[in-house]
Amino acid sequence: MRKVTRPVAELLAIRLLLVVLIALVAGPKARQGKGLGVDTARYQQIATSTGTPYRDFDAEYPPLAYFELKAVHGSTAQQTASHLAWAQLALDAVTAIAILLVWGEAAVVAYLVFTMVFVPLIYLELEPLVLALSVVALALIEKGRDRAGGVLLAAAAFAKVWPVLLLPLLAARAKWRALRYSAVAGLIGLGAWVAWAGLGAPLAVLRFRGLDGWTTGSTGGVVLRIFNHPPIRYVGDMNRVGTLAPWVSPGLFIVVVAVAAWAAWASRQNGRWPVAALLSVAATLLLSPIFSYQYVIWLVPFAAISGERRLQVLTFVAVAISAAMLAWVSVAAAGGPLLEWSELVKILAVLAVAVEAARSLVSSRIPAIRPAPEVSSARQGVSR
């Protein structure tokens, strides 16, 4: 069994120190009546609302994300931010350990380095939850624990919706038992969700509370702002432009599913399923009407375990750009032409990841991806 080596321990320790910093800052800010984090005020509003979410009050997050917010919320948004940061640090560590145990030290170091640019702000968002569920699920499946992995992958889709795009990969890899358990668990979870919150609950999440338009950071929003300059509306805690015809969202979803299916098919015999997953997630980011800065971190685990240097570099560039923009809007009222062009650079960076992933899938020169082999502690050197 692999042990946590010094580089991994040091990277995790840096994260711990940054979360301590969040906790130290949250207290004074709470006493001053100031906020901490971009979305924590909305999280606090959701967690403290009475009644059933989706039915009695608006909620744009799937049920597992909602339950996490209920579990960590405090009496103020600042306390919620502090509690959330500790929970997300623990989930991030779970993700890192799963990558280490299954794909090796090189993969986990890549994951920790790539995500470091988002720390500590990413711990004030919900992304670590879905990453932990998805990565642990895939790790279990890789180790032959198909039932647990399949159920956990279904659970990931109830934290964020995009993990459903990983299901074609199970079929392409002939992981039929995992796919069967995932599908059954997903149907049971969906039925329980509808019974609890009503038929409109899944649609409320898919349509982000039914709010119209492209967010200014999405591909459609960036194109509209650069070439058409429509007025910006602040709706649902997001800046939006334009409107969406009724067929746009279903049409984009079909395109994303088609990309995911093709990627899975292309990877079926070459072992590059992490690259296929990377392409599926990149397509989701590029075609979704909503694209928040922190969503780019969804790419990182798949780039890290792919072992492909060019993809890793391109992913790091996209993550660094998005992290810088998240930090910018978190500390300043960013806006104007500079922000518009920065959003375009972010979109182009993610597009470069998608193009390189597609090229990799059709290339016969890149070796297949396999889990890192076990090595004895004597050959690993001194464990740290």
Q: What is the DSSP string of 203-221?
A: HHHHTTTT--SEETTSHHH
> For residue 25, what pLDDT is reported?
63
234 C-beta neighbours (distance < 10 Å), count: 8
Give me 271's structure tokens. Answer: 């072992």
Distances (CA, A) of 311 to 110, 203, 348: 12, 34, 14
**Through-space distance between the first and last CA atoms of the chain, rounded to whole angstroms:** 14
Distances (CA, A) of 337 to 222, 344, 348: 11, 11, 17
Query: Is residue 183 exposed (0-12), middle (13-18) or buried (19+ Cβ within 10 Å)?
Result: middle
Crossing angle of helices 176-197 and 146-156, rounded to 10° = 40
Give me 130's structure tokens. Answer: 């879905």
pLDDT digits over 100-133, tens only? 999 999 999 999 999 988 887 888 899 999 999 9
Q: Which of 63-67, 164-168, 258-262, 360-364 has the lowest mean pLDDT?
A: 360-364
> For residue 129, what pLDDT is reported?
97
Question: From edge to edge, which strands make up the β-sheet containing 233-235?
Answer: 214-215, 238-241, 233-235
381 has pLDDT over 70 = no
SS (H, E, C) 352-364: HHHHHHHHHHHCC
Q: Which residue has the higher pLDDT, 136 or 242?
A: 136
Residues of the chain with pLDDT > 70, as a percent, come to 86
> For residue 34, what pLDDT is reported?
45
340 has pLDDT over 90 = no
Work out the average pLDDT over 163-185: 96
168 has pLDDT over 90 = yes
Answer whether 44's CB lies under 8 Å from 118's CB.
no
Work out the average pLDDT over 168-188: 96
Answer whether 124's CB lies under 8 Å from 81's CB.
yes
* Amino acid found at 187: L
pLDDT digits over 237-273, tens only? 778 888 888 888 889 999 999 999 999 999 987 889 9
| Nearest one of 206, 218, 211 to 293, comparing CA atoms | 218
> For residue 30, what pLDDT is reported?
42
> For residue 20, what pLDDT is reported?
78
Give me 122's structure tokens. Answer: 């990413």
CA dist., res. 185 & res. 146, Å (int): 13
Confidence of residue 330 (pLDDT cuts 50, 70, 90): low
Which helix (H) or strand (E) element contains residue 42? helix 40-48
Confidence of residue 376 (pLDDT cuts 50, 70, 90): very low
Question: What are the two backbone dihedrals, phi and then psi, of residue 234, each rounded to the nearest 5 degrees?
Answer: -95, 100
Task: Pick left, alpha or beta for residue 116 (phi over 0 → left; psi -120 to 50 → alpha; otherwise beta).
Answer: alpha
Q: Which residue has the higher pLDDT, 314 or 211?
A: 314
Could you give the angle at the alpha carbon of 233 between the alpha carbons of 229 and 237, nearest 5°?
A: 135
Burial 206-228 (b: 16+ CB within 10 A, else e): eebeebebbbbbbbbbbebbeee
Give me 101's structure tokens. Answer: 């145990």
> What is the length of the chain?
384
> For residue 305, what pLDDT is reported?
96
Distances (CA, A) of 225 to 213, 229, 309, 336, 339: 12, 4, 34, 10, 11
Answer whether 374's CB lies under 8 Å from 2's CB.
yes
Query: Is residue 382 exposed (0-12), middle (13-18) or buried (19+ Cβ within 10 Å)?
Result: exposed
Confidence of residue 196 (pLDDT cuts 50, 70, 90): very high
